[in-house]
Structure 1
């Protein structure tokens, strides 16, 4: 395995950790399942408290196990906001309203970032790995990140359209199913595109830097030859 390959593996690990890891993806579905189950057996109020309680328990478990704190906290507040909306609307389907509109906002932001030529996947990847925004100087790298960003925009758009329709039809059980079913599979597909884009853009940037270094050395050699100076060892 070359040095570049471990670096790419580290990048993939970093991105997954920022999302909470595999356990984070699993934990995110627990409050939803608890909410729907308790609501179907008892009523809305116990379901709200059960969902918030399960989210709090998951947060404590992640802290005790020294797992990334940011996904745990954001997950808890997401459930808390969803529970508050369900309480205010007096309807179980209100629990999913925050996620539905969040998908619309995220989808719009990702789409807008492509239109203004700052694809969010490239920006986020560069910030997470400390590589900056050199990829923006390479047209093919930009296209790769455009595709990755569009894939996430499509994921959020699909979630919004399907779950909004289920919300309007008062299909709370199917809302929970769609929330989970459109979570893991679609996220996995978008991640695959993201990893491909990052590897592609990284290769193109390194290739361009190598070519630029070669051009600089050739120009320096020509200047030294012109003025009769000895060439320096590289």
Structure 2
């Protein structure tokens, strides 16, 4: 039951792998192609998404069976610990597992303090609302969230993490894509808040899972369709990190 929802599946393949090592990529010819590549590098894989969702599944199953808060939280925590141990044995990244453990700890704090099972989902609802508001504000001030995702995936980000914003066309496309995140947050709130107020714990769990990686996959698919339709010319000479024009206001 991680507070941040699971990350979407990697657009470049089921195993999240990029191009073969040593294979040079051709320079992108459109802004949309440039952003597709950057998003592909920034987003996570299927396994991490599943590991983040499994504790929620365990919580919902135990709650539906016993209708007792503490056993449900114990099962969720145990699942997260098992996935962490598997990751350690395999010597792989604990990023998503730690995210899940942190989310369970926060959820347990809220639920145990109030004694109400539905409060285990309150941190996730608040987090989603915060992401939606932040995404909307980022559009208004012309620093779109998707732009930061692209900047984080740029190999030159360490030198200039905001280089993407100096490319006017990249900025314009990033603003359009960030609207997808705003809409997703609104839909989440429209579904989960009424369920929370009605104390529908089982359906809250179902909604939490659906609005995890499946919803992210849908959002990425919408972004992908928007990018595939676009044909904005991409000029490498004015591209981020290559001496582009001054950042727009």
TM-score range (shorter-chain normalised) is: 0.7 to 0.9
> In structure 2, what is the Cα distance between the partners aligned to 1:204 and 1:197?
16
Corresponding residue of 2:42: 15
How far has the Cα of 1:198 moved from its partner?
7.8
Q: Which residue in the other structure is 1:67 paired with?
A: 92
2:49 and 2:213 in contact (8 A); partners too: yes
C-alpha distance in structure 2 between counterparts of 1:67 and 1:195, whole Å: 29
- Separation in structure 2 between the aligned mates of residue 28 and residue 79 of structure 1, nearest angstrom: 10
1:175 equivalent among 196, 204, 208: 204
CA RMSD between the two structures = 3.1
The alignment status of 1:93 with 2:142, answered yes or no, reads: no
Give 1:60 deviation, angstroms: 2.1
Tell me what 2:7 maps to.
none
Greater share of residues in helix: 1
**What residue ranges of structure 2 are gaps of 5+ in the alignment?**
1-22, 244-249
- Is the 2:51–2:97 contact (alpha carbons within 8 Å) kept by the matching residues of 1? no
Spell out the pairing of 1:80-229 with structure 2 (5 A cutoff): 80-131=105-156, 132-194=161-223, 204-206=234-236, 208=238
Change in 2 beyond 3 A, CA 1:97/1:81: same
| Secondary structure in 2 matching 1:4 | coil
Aligned-partner Cα distance in 2 for 1:126–1:119: 11
Q: Which has the larger radius of gyration?
A: 1
Q: Taking structure 2 as the reference length, what is the TM-score of the superposition?
A: 0.72
- Whether 1:3 and 2:25 are equivalent positions in the alignment is yes
Distance in 2 separating the partners of 1:127 and 1:12: 9
Aligned-partner Cα distance in 1 for 2:74–2:134: 32
Measured in 2, the distance between the counterparts of 1:115 and 1:138 equals 18
Evaluate the alpha carbon distance shift between residue 201 and residue 106 of structure 1 in structure 2; reply closer, same or farther with a 3 A threshold: farther
Q: State the alpha-carbon separation in 1 of the partners of residues 193 and 100 from structure 2.
A: 21
Moved more, 178-187 or 5-14: 5-14
**Alpha-carbon deviations, 1:112-162, whole Å to 9, x = none?**
111111111112211222344333233322111011111112212221221
Report the Cα offset of residue 111 of structure 1: 1.0
Structure 1 39/117 Cα, relative in aligned 2: closer, same or farther at 3 Å?
same
Does 2:62 correspond to 1:33?
A: no
Q: CA deviation at 1:10?
A: 6.6
* Higher relative contact order, chain-length normalized (CA < 8 Å, sep 6+): 2
- State whether residues 140 and 201 of structure 1, in contact with CA within 8 Å, keep that contact through their aligned partners in structure 2: no
Kindly tell me the number of residue pairs found equivalent between the two proteins: 208
Cα distance change on mapping 1:62 and 1:11 into 2, 3 Å: farther
Displacement of 1:207 after TM fit? Answer: 6.2
Pick which of 52-61 and 88-97 moved more: 52-61
SS at match of 1:204: coil
Q: SS of the residue aligned with 1:117? A: coil
Instruction: Tell me if structure 1 keeps the 8 A contact 2:52–2:97.
Output: no
